[in-house]
Chain A
Amino acid sequence: MLKVRIRKNLPGFNLDVAFAVNQEILAVIGPSGSGKTMTMLCIAGLIQPDEGYIRLNSKVLYDSDSGLNLPPQQRRVGFVFQNYALFPHLTVRDNIAFGIRHLSRQEVEDRVWRLLDKMHIQELGHRYPRQLSAGQQQRVALGRALAPEPEVLLMDEPFSALDTYVKEQLERELLALQHFYQGNILFVTHDLSEGYKLSSKIAVYESGRILQCDSKQQVIAAPANRAVARLTGVRNLMAGAVVEIEDSSVWVAVPELGGRLRVTIRDAAQLAIDQQVTIGIRAEYVQVADHLDENTFLGKVSQAVEGVASINYSVRVHGTATAGHDLEASLSKSEAPPIPIGQSCYLRLPPDRLCMIGG
């Protein structure tokens, strides 16, 4: 269990975060410069916060109240840097063995062999880092960090420098790693889908603060506020007012759509008539319909961007061609034929896919 609460004044913003990780993988997501790497460096002891508290399992690593600040050497934190930071003058084997030199010769041999095996780089033991590809270097960096059996593994944008194929391979291997490495894992990424794939929990950062820290399903299905919705890629955000409340549904008048939406909710007790709310729905959940119905709107396609597997449409559903509101819909190419620009279509917003966002 890793418990973190730190504050640090930095030029540009103030870092002020608190979170806990319990034998799980936490993805730290947010824009560049929002304090994600800084947090990791503080946990590792490479940078000192201004004040706070960091506890890893049974050991307190940092406590500003008592003046405790363990040096990185004593924290048992594994760190994989963004550019791997392998020792260029040492072979792969010596890189991996660097942190366990104090063990017996046999133990060192055993661990190095096991890690070379786990990282699928058995035949690279005697090569130097400059002779390896990026993906191979990444594996060595991971092996090196895991050799001393750290209590938490920190990874800073581990896959950002890799091409798609290698990235996918390593992502799968990281998931498999969980069977082998039982500690906590924290990794920083600016790629939401990568963070979602590999984690069980997501912390959303912006300007030095955590906007939401929850299970990944919660963060996606129920963003805490507009900022989180934006950062997690919710492309449809609309302002509305509550007009009717029932047990498990709420009707919201949305001027931008020129109509009202029914939203499925679990807890209507929080809401009141005339309350101002923000409704969000991911572009991927917007459906094409063939007739007007509840939560369905008629619109005209104003833009279509074709991706590899889906097409992103901007559909003008209300107002005129020059001033109005567009719904963003992302439709899989295998589910529906492409809709030409200018054509009319019905878009349905499923009530159970709509989320009510505070603030």
Chain B
Amino acid sequence: MTETYLSPLWISLKTVLTATAITFFMGIAAARWMARYQGKFRNLIDGIFILPLVLPPTVVGLGLLLLFGIHGPLGKLLKLFGASVVFSWPATVIAAAVVAFPLMYMTACGAFEQVEINIENAARTLGATEWRIFWSVTLPLALPGVAAGAILSLARSLGEFGATLMLAGSIPGRTTTIPIAIYFAVEAGDNNQTILLVLIVLAVAFGLLAALAYWKRRATNSGNRSLIPQNID
């Protein structure tokens, strides 16, 4: 009994951590690329990156299903290696990462844009390569925003339901994440499991809010916005 109650916890934990790790790096990479991309397709690519945020999760799930299903391009590719993601644990990660990606991407874009161009230009005149500028100047200064993005995408991954259900289904012990487990528990009238899972989710949510508040404070204190000199000369 305990095992069935707690298995969604374990699955969600694995899923969320894996998905957030993937989204974190891909979101930052995409934001950095877009910051320097001057081409004509800027708006189009930006739109594609943000799309999963705007679409209903079930539509996203449907899209993923078409992509990874037996008749889909990626599904067929994976079949060559003898693998299939539909209705398996990796599907929960894919679904969670895809819906969370826009949040990480947009927040990271905003955070990078906020770093004053002159600061990066100063680094250039001082001989720093673009790589060094990114790691030693832009990223540290964008950190509060990037961290907030990570927290938001973690929250979104945790709460992902529609796309997960479509792509991964609800297989107890394998793909039943917390939100899915709550849904079916309510359906089945299992109040105990419902309450337990909801309380856990609330606890995590408050934890994330506290983390967000911390980074918001860090952002206003470290202030990479233009410094207002104190005139304490």
Q: How far is the CA of A77 from the CA of B121 in the complex (A)?
A: 12
Interface residues of A in 76-100 (CB under 8 A from B): 77-79, 81, 83-89, 98-99
With A87-B137, A89-B141, A144-B126 as contacts: A46 and B229 at CB distance below 8 Å: no
Contacts of B230 in A (CB 8 A): 130-133
Q: How far is the CA of A136 from the CA of B231 in the complex (A)?
A: 9
Contacts of B113 in A (CB 8 A): none
Q: How far is the CA of A135 from the CA of B123 in the complex (A)?
A: 21
In the complex, A264 has a CB within 8 A of chain B:
no
Q: How far is the CA of A70 from the CA of B227 in the complex (A)?
A: 31
Residues A133 and B229 in contact, CB atoms below 8 Å apart: yes
Interchain CB contact (< 8 A) of B128 among A45, A98, A163: A98
In the complex, B172 has a CB within 8 A of chain A:
no
Residues B227 and A86 in contact, CB atoms below 8 Å apart: yes
Q: How far is the CA of A89 from the CA of B127 in the complex (A)?
A: 18
In the complex, B233 has a CB within 8 A of chain A:
yes
Residues B124 and A83 in contact, CB atoms below 8 Å apart: no
Contacts of B127 in A (CB 8 A): 73-74, 99, 102, 148
Which residue of the partner chain A has the closest CB to B231?
Answer: A133
B-facing mask of A122-135, CB < 8 A → 1, else 0?
00000001111111
Interchain CB contact (< 8 A) of B124 among A73, A102, A133, A166: A73
Which residue of the partner chain A has the closest CB to B224?
Answer: A88
In the complex, A27 has a CB within 8 A of chain B:
no
Interchain CB contact (< 8 A) of A132 among B121, B124, B229: B229
Contacts of B118 in A (CB 8 A): 81, 83, 85
Q: How far is the CA of A85 from the CA of B230 in the complex (A)?
A: 16
Residues A88 and B141 in contact, CB atoms below 8 Å apart: yes
A-facing mask of B100-135, CB < 8 A → 1, else 0?
000000000000000010110111111111000000
Q: How far is the CA of A78 from the CA of B229 in the complex (A)?
A: 23
Residues B121 and A73 in contact, CB atoms below 8 Å apart: no
In the complex, A31 has a CB within 8 A of chain B:
no
Residues B122 and A79 in contact, CB atoms below 8 Å apart: yes
In the complex, B232 has a CB within 8 A of chain A:
yes
In the complex, A137 has a CB within 8 A of chain B:
yes
Listed by A's residue number, 8 A-B pairs whose Cβ atoms lie within 8 Å are A46-B124, A85-B119, A87-B137, A88-B222, A88-B224, A133-B230, A134-B231, A135-B233
Known A44-B121, A99-B128, A145-B125; 7 more pairs at CB < 8 Å: A81-B122, A85-B119, A85-B121, A86-B122, A86-B227, A87-B137, A131-B230
